[in-house]
């Protein structure tokens, strides 16, 4: 008999919550950091904070973001730099007296990323980068609206996919190997 939805949920929750100590430690650390930020760093707030953090760690959906600090440290400065350039480019285009836009819709074929979370992450990140906006996410390609087309945008998307693959890559192989 095929497993029911409840069986699958139970199977997904129990071993992960109590067996994966790294995921457990990561969730606790993240929630503690959030509590510290929201509580303004006051020591008194931890009386309520500790039970709240433990209960939240038990009931929260498991984040599907990988913990790869080096890959995150590589991606973060690049994303901030591209975000700065994106804002400046749009500001420049919006303020020019004679507005000249070369808008296009281009297609980016997935080449390395085959993880759903990774693709969603890239589609969201593209919206914050210079001149690109995700229009549609398909199983084999991404439709991207370009505000002002320049050569090299396709190569930039390929590079970005490679960098995001460094964060999410290899998970499909593990998933295929697991029962």
Partner 1 sequence: MTEWLEVVSHLLVVAGALFFVTGSLGFIRFPDVFTRLHALTKADNLGLGLLCSGLALQADGLAEAAKIMLIWLLVLLASGIGATLVASTAAACGIRPWQNRTGASREAQQEPQE
Site residues for partner 1 per CB under 8 A: 34, 36-41, 83-84, 86-91, 93-95, 99-109, 123-125, 127-128, 130-131, 133-137, 141, 143, 145, 147, 149, 154
**Complex with partner 1: residue 57 or 129, whichever CB lies closer:** 129
Instruction: Write down the least CB distance from residue 120 to partner 1, Å.
Output: 9
Q: Of 107, 149, 155, which is closest to residue 130 (Cα–Cα)?
A: 149
Which residue shows structure tokens 């370009």? 146
Give the number of other CB atoms < 10 A from CB of residue 161: 22
Residue 94 neighbours by CB under 8 Å, 6+ apart: none
Q: 8 vs 84, which CB is nearer to partner 1?
A: 84
The residue among 13 and 62 lying less far from partner 1, judged by its C-beta, is 62
Least distance from partner 1 to the Cβ atom of residue 95, Å: 6
Nearest-angstrom CA–CA distance, 92 and 160: 24
Minimum distance between the CB of residue 43 and partner 1, rounded to whole angstroms?
Answer: 12
Q: Which CB, 29 or 91, lies closer to partner 1? A: 91
What are the tokens at 48?
A: 């309520």
CB 141 within 8 A of CB 108: yes
Q: Which is nearer to partner 1, 106 or 166 (CB)?
A: 106
Residue whose entry in the numeric block shows the structure tokens 């396709």? 154
DSSP, res 40:
T
Q: Is 50 helix (H, G, I), strand (E, B) or coil?
A: helix
Residue with smaller CB distance to partner 1, 52 or 90: 90
Q: Smallest distance, Å, CB 135 to partner 1?
A: 5
Q: Are the C-beta atoms of residues 176 and 156 closer than 8 Å to each other?
A: no
Smallest distance from partner 1 to CB 126, Å: 8
CB of 10 to partner 1, least distance (A): 29
- State how far the Cα of 41 lies from the Cα of 35, in Å rounded to an integer: 8
């Amino acid at each position: 008999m095929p497993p029911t939805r409840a069986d699958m949920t139970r199977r997904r929750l129990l071993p992960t919550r109590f067996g994966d100590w790294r995921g457990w430690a990561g969730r606790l650390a993240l929630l503690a950091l959030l509590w510290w930020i929201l509580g303004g760093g006051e020591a008194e707030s931890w009386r309520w904070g500790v039970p709240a953090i433990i209960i939240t760690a038990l009931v929260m959906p498991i984040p599907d973001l990988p913990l790869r600090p080096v890959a995150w440290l590589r991606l973060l400065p690049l994303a901030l730099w591209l975000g700065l350039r994106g804002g400046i480019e749009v500001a420049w285009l919006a303020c020019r007296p004679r507005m000249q836009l070369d808008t296009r819709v281009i297609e980016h074929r997935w080449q390395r990323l085959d993880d759903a979370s990774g693709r969603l992450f890239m589609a969201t990140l593209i919206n914050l980068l210079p001149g690109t906006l995700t229009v549609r996410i398909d199983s084999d390609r991404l439709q991207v609206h370009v505000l002002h087309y320049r050569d090299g945008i396709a190569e930039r998307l390929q590079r970005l996919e490679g960098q995001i693959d460094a964060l999410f890559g290899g998970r499909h192989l593990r998933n295929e190997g697991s029962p």
